Amino acid sequence: MRIQQSAQPPYRLAVDDPIIAIRNLDLYYGEAQALKDITVAIPRRQVTAFIGPSGCGKSTLLRCLNRLNDLVDSVRITGSIKLEAMEINSGDVDVIELRRRVGMVFQAYNPFPKSIYENVVYGLRIAGVRKRSILDEEARRSLQSAALWEEVKDRLGESAMALSGGQMQRLCIARAIAVNPEVILMDEPCSALDPIATAHIEDLIDALKKTYTVVIVTHNMQQAARVSDYTAFLYLGEMIEFNKTDLIFTQPERRQTQDYITGRFG
Amino acid sequence: MKKRWRQGEHYVWFSGAAVCLTLLMVAVLLGVVMVNGLGYFWPSDLALATLDDGSRLLGAITNAERVPDRERDNLQFKVGNRDLYGEDFRWIDGAAIADLAYPSNAVLLERVEFGNFHGFLKSLALASDDLAAPGDDWSRLMAALPLVAQRQATVDEMQGHLAELNGEIESLRRQAARLRFDDERAHAEAIHTLQDRMEQLAQRFEGENAAIARTVTELRRSRATFRDAEGREKEIVLADIVRAVRPNAMSVWAKTGFYASKVLELLTDEPRESNTEGGLFPAIFGTVMMVMIMSIFALPMGVVTAVYLREYAREGLLVRLVRIAVYNLAGVPSIVFGVVGLGFFVYGVGSALDVLLFPERLPTPTFGTGGILWASLTLSLLTVPVVIVATEEGLSAIPRGLREASLALGATRFQTLLRVVMPMAVPGIITGFILAVARAAGEVAPLMITGVVKLAPALPIDGNFPYVHLERKFMHLGFHIYDVGFQSPNVEAAKPMVYITTLLLVVIVMVLSLTAVVLRNQMRKRFQSATF
């Protein structure tokens, strides 16, 4: 992978062979513009963090990647998002297929009120997988990948509601992994968790990037610094700066970025 | 004090008082109904009163009225013997009573006709020897009555068979009529065969009818003669006696047995004496069946509508208007629904069905007149808004995160609805169902014009093909209350029946609701920590 600094501002990093390439993306909620001319490339099998103050559009941008914004009636999107060769914003794209390739973990852990096992295999079941042996195998693999297997292997039939918050969030990660996505989107996955559970999830993210591309939205700059390889800073719907994480946090190129990471606003 | 006032303590007290008041009203209502209803079946002692002018009367004391400065209260007696006196109840001036006794040989008869008889057994004339038993007249009567009842049951069974024969003849007649309606000449031979068969059946009918008549005449020759308090004699056919007891001589256990048999009769038998006596089984059956048919229509219709409004329809002016319309539908007076049901279902759909399916029976309507199907459909119109509102509430309470989680895993909206949303909305739906059932079971006005009758000749489900007769008229507990309480010629005698019927209706609604509540709580437990 070759990475180079592009010449003109805003400061964008050119990424060779990105898995997702966003180009000139504008997004409107009715009349209000929430994302302005976003151009960014998500590197393959790396952790990319979106940071920025509340309301800057980082969650909205994340939800563009699996078209979850479709659920909001008034949203209008222009510009291009490419997952490999597939144009995500095109009208004839198979949204179901897209969402299988791009999994998501939410801010509030949201397991279904079913058993642990049924939660993990949910995505497979709706995709039509019936064979018990495949389901069992995938459940084990996903739970192992989510570092939850040892804790729940003897009580897969119990309700997921009996787990602790951190375990529930890891279950949600296992649920997303089970359908074998290429990209996993995480929308502030640790904001409802205590420091120990947060550390668990962060270790997990580090392990996941061997197999998956991870895009994480976070409020917490220390977390972005700890877990991500690349960081994008958004402010008021604009992409201010995108760079390798260590560079962003040590020598930001733009004034707003510096102000934000040093805590002058936000 | 001032501090408490500032802290808003008085509001707590106000709301507490309101709760108490509500509970009190419910308790008083239920209490009155239960005391009046449940006490009715307990056999009360028969008092023999001798008045100052020498006349005597025998009856159960049903009411007392305090008179100032008098030693003895004015008493109301249920004297029975409607065929002799023309009235069931008499108020007696307390001062005029010279003596009040409770003779142990006083007999209370429950009869098929004319209500109770109070008096004393004088003599017994049994028609056949096989009814005879040793002992005095009373024990002979006690021995004979069950045998007579058994024979009466055989006669009823034979009559049932007769009705079956009649039904068969009727269906043949209809087949012939249909062929004639179609083309008389072309089917001449078939019609002829049918007529031959009908004649055969008619002969069998005559034969069996005559046999029944002989048995009945034989049975009715067994009679007993009774004396009333004044000494007037009355001959009563044994077959007309439903129960005979001597309440003053009964032990508590015997009275309990009597009570149990009365309750059993109430739940399983048909009404007698223009509904003021006997059982309520047809009305219970009609009520429950109507509620069930209502649910079959209202529940899916309401749930599907709510799902569309909440999950699929784009929130806009039209959806808002539809929602307002649905909410307002719940406030339309029920009689209006009745009129709509009569006009649309009975006269519209029903008449059209008659023309299509049963042209040979016209002008006698089959579906074009009130029936249990039309009444249930009318009620489902009435209750569907309740189901819609409750289901919508249930759907909107499900956290958005769960829908998003499902969609983000590649589920379609329908899969999400089916696998995640609906299971969680079930408690809400059941709540709506409870409200709908409670409303439907208690509703009377719309039924009166769409299919309820005072006395239905047959249940909507029986052993005759096609077993379920949705076009039949039916009986209903709510209407029974109105009919027995306010339309019966002998209101005073019918009063306990009204209480009993009310109690039963309340109990049925309570049982239906409780079942649903238990079911809902179990579902809730499963989803308890699903919300955060």
Mean pLDDT, residues B469-481: 88
CB contact under 8 A, A96 and B412: yes
Whole-number pLDDT of residue A213: 93
CA distance A160 to chain B (A): 9
Label residue B453 by pLDDT band (50, 70, 90): confident
**Which of A73, A113, A126 is opposite residue B409, by nearest beta carbon?**
A126
d(CA B472, CA B451) in angstroms, rounded, equals: 8
Q: Is B528 an interface residue toward A (CB < 8 Å)? A: yes
Outline where DSSP puts E strands in B246-384. Answer: 271-272, 277-278
Q: Is B316 an interface residue toward A (CB < 8 Å)? A: no
CB contact under 8 A, B405 and A161: no
d(CA A115, CA B191) in angstroms, rounded, equals: 68
Whole-number pLDDT of residue A13: 66
Q: Which of A38-52, B19-33, B72-86 has the lowest mean pLDDT?
A: B72-86
CB contact under 8 A, B406 and A122: yes
Query: Of A71, A112, A168, A173, which to mutate for an interface test with B (greatest number of B Cβ within 10 Å)?
Result: A112
Domain membership of residue A101 (yes or no) is: yes
Q: Report how many Cβ contacts below 8 Å link chain A to chain B.
A: 76
B339 and B332 Cβ atoms separated by less than 8 Å:
no
pLDDT digit string (tens) for B305-349? Answer: 999 998 888 888 999 999 999 989 888 999 999 999 999 999 999
Q: Is B317 an interface residue toward A (CB < 8 Å)? A: no
CB atoms within 10 A of CB A245: 21
Domain membership of residue A266 (yes or no) is: no
pLDDT digit string (tens) for B231-257? Answer: 888 888 888 888 888 888 888 898 999
Q: SS3 of B237, please? A: strand
Q: Is A64 an interface residue toward B (CB < 8 Å)? A: no
Q: Which residues of B touch A122 (CB under 8 A)?
A: 406, 409, 411, 419
Q: Which residues of B touch A97 (CB under 8 A)?
A: 410
Whole-number pLDDT of residue A184: 93
ipTM attached to this prediction: 0.88
Mean pLDDT (chain B, rounded): 86
B499 and B490 Cβ atoms separated by less than 8 Å:
no
Annotate B36-98 with DSSP letters as a single string.
HHHGGGS-PPPEEEEETTS-EEEEEEEEEE--TT-SS-EEEEE---HHHHS-SEEEE-GGGEE
Label residue B91 by pLDDT band (50, 70, 90): confident
Q: Name the residue range of residue A189's domain.
A: 3-261
The matching CATH number, chosen from 2.40.10, 2.60.40, 2.30.30, 3.40.30, for B36-119+240-268 is 2.30.30
Output phi, psi for A194, to 5 deg: -80, 170
pLDDT digit string (tens) for A184-230? Answer: 999 998 888 888 888 988 998 998 888 999 999 998 888 999 999 99
Residue A105, domain CATH: 3.40.50.300
Q: Which of A39-43, A79-83, A90-94 has the lowest mean pLDDT?
A: A90-94
Label residue B528 by pLDDT band (50, 70, 90): low
CB contact under 8 A, B409 and A161: no
Q: Which residues of B touch A179 (CB under 8 A)?
A: 409-410
Q: Which residues of A touch B399 (CB under 8 A)?
A: 108, 110
Domain count, chain A: 1
pLDDT digit string (tens) for B100-156? Answer: 888 888 888 888 888 888 888 888 888 777 777 777 888 888 888 888 888 888 888
Mean pLDDT, residues B288-317: 91
Q: Which numeric CATH code is attached to B281-476? A: 1.10.3720.10
Contacts of B54 (CB under 8 A, 6+ apart): none
Closest-CA residue of A relative to B414 is: A126
Instruction: State the helix-helix crossing angle for B9-38 and B491-526, rounded to 10 degrees.
Output: 130
Residue keyed to tokens 């106000």: B14
Mean pLDDT, residues A58-86: 88
Domain membership of residue A11 (yes or no) is: yes
Q: SS3 of B198, please? A: helix
